[in-house]
Each structure stands twice: as C-alpha cells, then as structure tokens.
Structure 1
C-alpha cells in the first residue's frame, strides 16, 4: 500500500486553508489549455470508444444490463451497464465497508485524494460524458463536470478531515483523587454510519454528487452511487476510477458501487429504504425529496431540492451592464441550473438608472433585448444555451406561455438533432403568484410588477422562506436600502448578490468560498460544504481501561 496521504498532503493542506480563508482558490484548473497536449482529442476518442457497447466495470458481473441514455444533442449513446440487485449491492457494500472503516483516517483521505487526482486527468472524457447526457455545452461540461466538481469533492474531503482531526486517537486520562490519581487510557474510534447512498441528478451529475461521495468515503462509509437514468455515464466513469484506486491499494473495490436503473424500473426507493443504508444524499425535485423526508426518518438525509430564485431591481448606475448580466444568467445552460434566477421584481412605476428613468416596460424590454443580443450569433448562442436535458422542459415552456404577457418568446436554435430553447420572458402583476412562485425549471422567467422595491424584497424573501431559494440578487444604488435588505435575505437563508454587472453571475457558485445552499429554507437541508455536511457521517466511540503502570 502506497502512502497516498503524504503524496497528496500539499493538496489537502491547500484545501483546508482555502476553506478557512474563503478567498479564491482552485486545486484543479478550469482552463483546458493547461492540460496535456492532445488530452482533449484523447477524451473525445475515449468517449467514442464507449458508445454502442457494454460499459466495462472491473469486478462487476451481472446477468442483465440496463441503459437507455440519449444525448440531448440527438443520438442515443447505446451504452449498457450491469443491472444491479439491491440486496446484493447493499450486502457487498457492508462487506467491503468493514475493512474500509478500520483503515486509518489518513489512509482513507489519501485514497480519496488520489481518486480526485485521477478524475482530474480524465476531465476531458468526463466532459464528453456530461455534455452528451445533460445537454451542457462543451465548455461548461468541461468546467462544471470536471475541475469544478473535483474542487467540490476536495472541499468535502477537507471539511471531513478537519472534523475527524478533532478526535484524538488515544489519550492518558488522569483525575486527582485525594492522595492518589486515577489513570485511564482512552482510545477514540471514528465509526461510520453505514452504507451511503448518493442519488445523482440529470443536469449536474458530478458537481452535485462528488461532495457526498467523498464525504462518505473519507468518513469510513461504503458508497452506492445511484445515477439518474438519463445521466449514468459521468458517474459510471467516476465509480470506475474509484474502484481502480481502491483495488490498487488493497481494498475491496465494492467500497464504491454503481447502481444504474431505468425510468421504467426505478430502484431508488428500495435502496434508500434498505435498513443497512445509513446515509442518503439527494439532488432533485421536491416531490421525491418529500418522499425521502417522510420515509427515511431513521436515516441521515441530505437534500438539495426545488426553489424560486429571485432578483429585485430597485435602481442601477449601469443599466445596460445590469441587463447584460441578468440576460446571461437567464440564458446560461438554458436556465437548467438550481441557481438560475426565475422571478424578477421591478417597481411598476419604473426605476432610476444612469440612462434616466426607465419604466417597468423598458426594464423588461431591456433584459429581453440583452438576451437577444447575447444569442444573436449562432455559435455563441449554442455555447451559452447548450441543449434541453429533458423533453418535459419543452412541454413546461409551452404551458408557461399562457401564464403572462410574453415579453420575449422562446424559440429553438437551428442545431440539427438537438433539443434547444431560448429564454421565455413573461410579464405579470404581483397578484399572479400562481405563475411566478412555482419553480418552472428551464428557460422560463417572470418580470413581476410590484409597488416598490420594498415590496419586491418582502416578496422575494417570503418566497425563499416558503418555497425555497438558493440564490437571490438585488440591484440598488441606495446603500441604506441594501443594508436593510441584507438581514432579510439572511433570515430567509438565501445567498444574496448585490449589483452584479461584470463577469460574475448570480448562478455561479465557487468552491472553497461560496456556501452552496444554506440548509435554512425549503430548497434543501444541507450545504455544500460546511461542517454540518460531514460531521454526522461518523460517530466517535471511546474504549477506556486502567492505565498500565
């Protein structure tokens, strides 16, 4: 067994320090040009070699196979995976997890870091898998599916390491007792909670799954990874890398297992409800999140669910730049991000800007016009929008057209075979809450007329408390107004961005700095990443005995 902990110690130390300082730090480069020459071409070739064939997962045999992934850009992938048996998966995880739990903390951390390093080397292959299962455009698939996801996994390792490092391995306990002293030797054992289940989503399969996967691993839990049926390949590649490293280091590779299924024959509920599964991590709809909360009361459950992200526009010193920033946020990956804004509150009487007073209609048209300008060039439009992951989103857009006055209609890009849609922008009055206070996943947004900015903030924060929200934005030139709004958003548990007009957007979340989801409103009960996300995944058990003379 190699000393992977020492080999990657500098990486761990950097991540721990970054998580404390909360400044910019990235362990894995998001710039494709910094990777080895020819790596991108090798990734494409490796992806092509996987198509229309059984996926090889060493050490896993199955009589049946599953897999029906279809690229949102057109073709079916034709990849099949070993069909799992729920009881056998959990039993294998329990068996493999026994030795994994007994391994030292440093051993587990070192192996997790080696897995992340190898995933980074496979970033171009993973990017191809992410692009052709989620519909993310190539650049986003590389960054979000590769290095950004790896940074999020590393962040979880750093937090878990810090929490476990608080536990001493052994101490000599001495208590004065009159003329004598009572002495005990105490050993403290980090004990895992049980098999962890990580339920992946269809839009960000690696970014949303890596924190839970690596938090479970380093705290001593075996892990079953259950991908979304439409996005199996990115997590299958991840599991294969993890199993390779585990086997090389002398551990049963079943410490990490893949559990693919189909939409017609789902296995997620059976896995989640299994008595030996102790931890469940889920990203997805509030409907299934509600089922998990109702039925898994004896398990540790972490969720990221639906929400209604809002923007309040009160005033601005940079109207054009503001419109451009909002337009990009509405367009990026066709609004298929849990952080994408949906509901934009604007005073009915208009706002003050650097270009003079703008009416409500001018603000709405300004945002719509900025979307048009952003997407005017076909190649740029394709790179920003990507493709629509699910046909259900197209149906949702069609249904939404009747919810308000159309300021900007949604249209398809002329990309052969791809499922695409540009942003739909609707104007509504504040009373029409049934339209704009329900999450409508995809490129659908509402410009809502309110009496004034104060009403907008009140409605935005109430929506976060009642419906859930991950992000919010406020545009105002009044510092007193901003100062009044900040605690309201904080109490609502939603991250607030103020006056963004440059190259940072409300739907971006930076590892080691931003806390993604607060856990303080219905959008989710967990945060990526804080101490609470990792600390409950293990328990500490003490063994004590009279000290040797």
Structure 2
C-alpha cells in the first residue's frame, strides 16, 4: 500500500522538489474556495462538519486519557465548547516510541507516500479546517481558508519535499571498492539506514495553528520521527482535526496511529515537562520570546526550531508611486489586524521628508497620509471586517486599547460592528508617530494592529536604524521604498548583515507580510526573530541520522 501511495503521488512530489530548486511560482492546492475545484457541495459539507464538533467530545482514541478539556473562546463570540481528550504525557511518549520502529522501517519512500496522501486528505477538508481556524483565531474567512488550508498544506508539502530531497540523496546500499595496486581490491558492502532522532514536539500558536505547525509536523514525520502536537489553548480545533486526519491515514495503511497524537494541556508546567522529556529530540515552537527562550535555554536534549517576536520595519526614502505605496502599506497594516509575524510595525521616514511623484512630502504629511489611507480602507465596514478579522487574544486587545499612551496618535483605533458576528471584537489599526530616540515606544514587538512612523535624521540614519532593529530585536520582514539605487543597495547590504528578507518598492497586490511556499523562505534563522527557516535543508536535515552497517564482500 505504501509503495502504491508513493507511486500515486510521485508526479506531484517531483513537481514539489523541482519547485524548491526553481523558486518560481507553484502551488499544488488551490487557494480559491471554488466549487469547480473542491466540489459543488464542499462548502456546505465543510461547515456542517465543523458544526458537528461544537458542544461535543472530540474523540481521537489516544492512550492514557484521564479527562477532557474545553476552554476555547472564539474572538467572534461563537460558542465552541468542544471537549478534547487530556492524556497523560508519559502515555503519549510511550505510545510514540512504540510506533516509531515500524515507521522508521518504512523508509523515506514509504513515509513520503503516506504523508502525501495525508496532505491530499487535509486539502479535501479545507472548508472544515477553515471554519475551525476562523472561529478560534479571529482570521477573516478568506484568510482562514487560504492560510489555514491550502497555504498551510503548501508549507507542509514544502517541508516534506525538502525532507525527501535530503533523504533520497543518501543511497540505501553500495559496494565499496578500494584499489590495492597489484593485489585484489578491498571490497565491502555498506548499508545506510535513515533513522529518526526521537519524538518531535510541535507547539502551536494561537493565530496560525496550521500554517505555523505543518512545516514542523511534516518535517519530523517524514524523517522517521513520531510527533506530539501541543496546540495553543485557544486554537485546539484546527490541530485536532489535522491530527485526526493524519491518524486515519496511518491506520488505513497499517501504521500505528500513535505516530502522531494531540497533547491538550491546561498548565504551562505540563508543556515544559513534555518539552524537556529525554525522549523528545526536536521541538518546533512559534510564540512569545519568554517561552521560546525558556525552550532554548532548557531543552538541551532537543533541537529547538523557534520563531519568536520581532520588530518588522520599512524604510521610506522616496517613491514614484506615492498613492499606490500608501494603499499597499494600509492593506498590510490592516490584514488580520496586524496579527501576523510578518506585519510591519515600524515605518522609518527621514526627518526632512521624502521626494514623491506628487512633490515633496514632509515627515508629518507622510504620517498623516498613511493614516488617511488606512482610514479610507476601513471606511467600508463590510470590507474592513472581512480583512481585519477579530482580535485573537485579551493581551492584544489590551495593547490596542492602551496604544495611545505609547506615542503621538496619528490615527486612533475604532471598534467596528461585525455584520455577521455581533460579539466579534473588531478593531481598526492605530497609527502612531515618534522620534527615533523614543526607543521605548517602538523598539519592541507590539503585536497587533499597532504601528509607528518613526522620524530618523536622514536616509542613511533610517537604513542604519532598520539594521539595528533587526540585529538587536529581530525581524522576519523589512521593506524599502526608494528611487535611488544607492539607497536601495545600502538597504540590501544592511539586510545581508542583519540576515533578514527584504521587499523593494511594493505597490501592487503583493504585500510585505505575505510569504509564498516553494519560493519565499520564511525567516532566515539568522536574527533574533527565528533560529530556523521554512523550509531549507537545515530545517529537516538535523531531524534524522544515518546508521550504517558494513561487511566484507
């Protein structure tokens, strides 16, 4: 069966590995929720499937269950009340280790075929997963479908293809011959077995519970490891559905489904204990610096792949498309209420202003015009709610409400009434301005729809400030707007030193906070915002080892 699955998905896998090399556009899963792609009844069936979980027990058939937990609070005010299994962590670890040998023995080809099938099944459940993502995270519907479904599946396949590429480069067996001059050559047969490192723990985040976890899940599974998924306490349902689907595919193919399990914990200490378990050899984490740094400091037995906080920034030196630039930035700052790890927080502008196609604009004019562009974008309540979504956490809501104390307000936040969900907590972006010297205001991540227009002495100082922010506080994205090649080149060189991705003069329908699988590397692993990248060779290669045996022929 596993050979048949590999053959079934072989062509798509080849396309994926080719796409990794080409870095051009390729996406195997349609991002549009079209009935022509997913079927005429897919939307209704997906919604009904989602609704079938509400107020009920979510059974996974996992070992060591000691109770249930239901605590998710929807930012849209939807009553969830899904009861998830709470299992003894040691029971999950024991079950994982028991399932591991058979999973390893399948080999890279067998594992890859099964995981390709699992991704196809997840894609078929995209509507169901989208409703789960939307209601738990606060994402708007279209983002929840795209980022929660096909784009997350793209990232999972990207990691899987990368793992396949690294493993398939290692031959299973060879005849080794060493010439001995006039004597017969030395001949040995050597076998190379790919074995997993141990249990992989994947700790999910509350804003992107599939997009940020699928790379770690599929990289760890593909390389021969069992996986325990520990979801964020307020975004359990998307992870639970994912684990359920993968377990079903495993079982259908004669594999112990406990190769992947869900760990629902109510105490931070339980997650810490699991992360430090001697059998856990890799930890994938997206979230706060506080917990991420704790993992890095304490999980010495494991390789930790961590995406942490950062201060993403854009430098504006000049532009020949002023209105298009403002429109692009306004959408970027509004998308999912700035609750993306790639959203710009700091916009650095020279004190004497910028040259534009509309003439010179002062620093204050740039700030005011950007505020006006945001206000215009959110003026249509229906459009605004669809793009903004809802505020995911109480902490983010608190930051938005106190943001006026951080710096001078250019555009205050507003509460909007959602047309479909009366209890949704929707807030428009708040825009502030300050001097570069006011570092307490902007030189830390203010996660959410909060951004600062920062006054730098000149263009050179603006580029230098961007670099220092990246080096000291980390960033996943930076941007530059300039008509001067020397300024762009200075920013490029600064990003090389800071090891961060750069977008140059974005004015169309591509935004700095968007990342395309198979083309864009998400993070570089080279600055404090992340120590890993989705998905390069380093993201997968340290998750397996090669055990060889040799003997004379």
Q: Normalized against structure 2, the TM-score is what? A: 0.97
2:529 is equivalent to residue 523 of structure 1: yes
Match for 1:188 among 174, 189, 192? 192
Match for 2:53 among 50, 53, 64? 50
1:206 is matched with: 210
2:176 is equivalent to residue 173 of structure 1: yes
**Contact 1:489/1:495 (CA < 8 Å) preserved in 2?**
yes
Give how far 1:61 is off. 6.6
Instruction: Measure, in 1, the Cα distance between the counterparts of 2:479 and 2:459.
Output: 12
Instruction: Measure, in 1, the Cα distance between the counterparts of 2:244 and 2:521.
Output: 29
Match for 1:462 among 465, 468, 488? 468
Instruction: Measure, in 2, the Cα distance between the counterparts of 1:367 and 1:60.
Output: 54
2:223 is matched with: 219
**Contact 1:60/1:82 (CA < 8 Å) preserved in 2?**
no
**Contact 1:101/1:192 (CA < 8 Å) preserved in 2?**
yes
- Superposed CA offset, 1:388-446 (max 9, x none): 00011111122321111100001111121011211111110110011111100000100
1:505 is matched with: 511
1:497 is paired with a residue whose SS is strand
Instruction: Measure, in 1, the Cα distance between the counterparts of 2:489 and 2:396.
Output: 37
Give how far 1:169 is off. 0.3
Instruction: Measure, in 2, the Cα distance between the counterparts of 1:308 and 1:250.
Output: 47
Instruction: Measure, in 1, the Cα distance between the counterparts of 2:495 and 2:179.
Output: 52
- Superposed CA offset, 1:262-294 (max 9, x none): 2x5652101100000111111101111110111
Give how far 1:261 is off. 1.8
Match for 2:261 among 257, 272, 287? 257
1:29 is matched with: 30
**Contact 1:101/1:220 (CA < 8 Å) preserved in 2?**
yes
1:357 is matched with: 360
- Superposed CA offset, 1:458-513 (max 9, x none): 00111101100000010000112111220111210110001000000000000000
Gaps of 5+ in 2: none
- Where does 1:423-502 land on structure 2 (aligned, <5 Å)? 423-502=429-508
- Superposed CA offset, 1:11-38 (max 9, x none): 1001000010000000100011132112
Segment of structure 1 superposing worse, 331-340 or 172-181: 172-181
2:5 is matched with: 4
Instruction: Measure, in 1, the Cα distance between the counterparts of 2:397 and 2:52.
Output: 31
1:50 is paired with a residue whose SS is coil
Instruction: Measure, in 1, the Cα distance between the counterparts of 2:533 and 2:209.
Output: 17
Instruction: Measure, in 1, the Cα distance between the counterparts of 2:423 and 2:66.
Output: 34
Segment of structure 1 superposing worse, 49-58 or 537-546: 49-58
Match for 1:316 among 316, 319, 322? 319
1:538 is matched with: 544
* Cα distance change on mapping 1:45 and 1:4 into 2, 3 Å: same
**Contact 1:61/1:82 (CA < 8 Å) preserved in 2?**
no
2:395 is equivalent to residue 392 of structure 1: yes
2:427 is paired with a residue whose SS is coil
**Contact 2:280/2:301 (CA < 8 Å) preserved in 1?**
no
Match for 1:102 among 100, 105, 113? 105
Q: Normalized against structure 1, the TM-score is what? A: 0.98
2:422 is equivalent to residue 422 of structure 1: no
2:409 is paired with a residue whose SS is strand
Segment of structure 1 superposing worse, 267-276 or 112-121: 267-276
**Contact 1:67/1:229 (CA < 8 Å) preserved in 2?**
no
- Superposed CA offset, 1:323-364 (max 9, x none): 000000100000000000000101111111000111111100
Instruction: Measure, in 1, the Cα distance between the counterparts of 2:217 and 2:301.
Output: 20
Gaps of 5+ in 1: none
State the Cα RMSD in Å: 1.0
1:501 is paired with a residue whose SS is coil
Instruction: Measure, in 2, the Cα distance between the counterparts of 1:42 and 1:138.
Output: 16
Match for 1:334 among 330, 333, 337? 337
Give how far 1:59 is off. 5.0
- Superposed CA offset, 1:190-233 (max 9, x none): 01100000000000000000001000111000000000000000
- Where does 1:56-67 land on structure 2 (aligned, <5 Å)? 56-59=59-62, 62-67=65-70
Length, aligned pairs only: 546
* Cα distance change on mapping 1:494 and 1:265 into 2, 3 Å: closer
2:74 is matched with: 71
